[in-house]
Amino acid sequence: MKLYTYFRSSAAYRVRIALNLKEVPYNAVSVHLTKDGGQHRKPDYQAVNPQMRVPALELSTGDTLIQSLAIIEYLDEVFPDPALLPTDAIERAHVRAVAQIIACDIHPTNNLVALNYLRKLGHDDKTVNEWYASWVVSGFEAIETMLRPGPYAFGSHVTLADLCLVPQVFNARRFKVPLERFPKIVAVDAACAKLPAFDKARPENQFDSE
């Protein structure tokens, strides 16, 4: 497998965690989102992923998968151990809900494309950062009430929710969003940080980190 990744992309971060947890070997290819005008915009990468975003996962079959949640669910189906979704249908829905609050509501409003467009419209960094923080806080307020007794987001087993939550916490800290109001979220992040699969996936541990 070949993973097209960028060390600071939270979507790619999710997939790196999944691959590590399932002990699936892969070759990482850096697609730097700020160098050279954005390497994801180059024609050679557009041929890999027409959306021109990371991650993308190239399989041995020649197929290429895009969108982090789709990639992770593929990995969970093909490499079922350890499972990232509960066996109970209701519990699966709760786990997916937390994952989607992050991946569908928080992340799209504060990824690099959105933030750069705000700057293009003339907003200064203070305003952009306030925009970023408002969506993180709004999403985290909901998630904080949804988490179960730990150590992980839904109990004693890591799930898809943890894979989405940890990268979002990393980004929140990077943008200096206060997290004191979210002790459950902070505790889940701390528990996950003790696992080698999460630590290995951290942005600062990637070969393309700056």
- Give residue limits of the domains in the chain: 2-82, 89-197
pLDDT for 128 equals: 74
Options 1.20.1250.20, 1.10.10.60, 1.20.1050.10, 3.30.70.141; CATH for 89-197 is 1.20.1050.10
Options 3.40.190.10, 2.40.110.10, 3.40.50.10800, 3.40.30.10; CATH for 2-82 is 3.40.30.10
Any idea how long the chain is? 210
Cα separation, 87 vs 46, whole angstroms: 37
Token digits for 108? 């799209």
- Report helix, strand or coil for 30: strand
Residue 57, strand partner residues: 3, 65
pLDDT for 141 equals: 98
Cα separation, 106 vs 126, whole angstroms: 19
Q: To 5 degrees, how large is the angle CA 181–CA 186–CA 187?
A: 125
In a structure prediction context, what are the per-residue pLDDT tens digits for the chain, which is 210 residues long? Answer: 999 999 999 999 999 999 999 999 999 999 998 888 899 989 999 999 999 999 999 999 999 999 999 999 999 999 999 999 999 999 999 999 999 999 999 987 777 777 778 788 898 888 777 878 888 999 999 999 999 999 999 999 999 999 999 999 999 999 899 999 999 999 999 999 999 999 999 999 999 996
Residue 5, strand partner residues: 30
What DSSP string runs through 107-160? HHHHSHHHHHHHHHTT--HHHHHHHHHHHHHHHHHHHHHHPPSSSBTTBSS--H
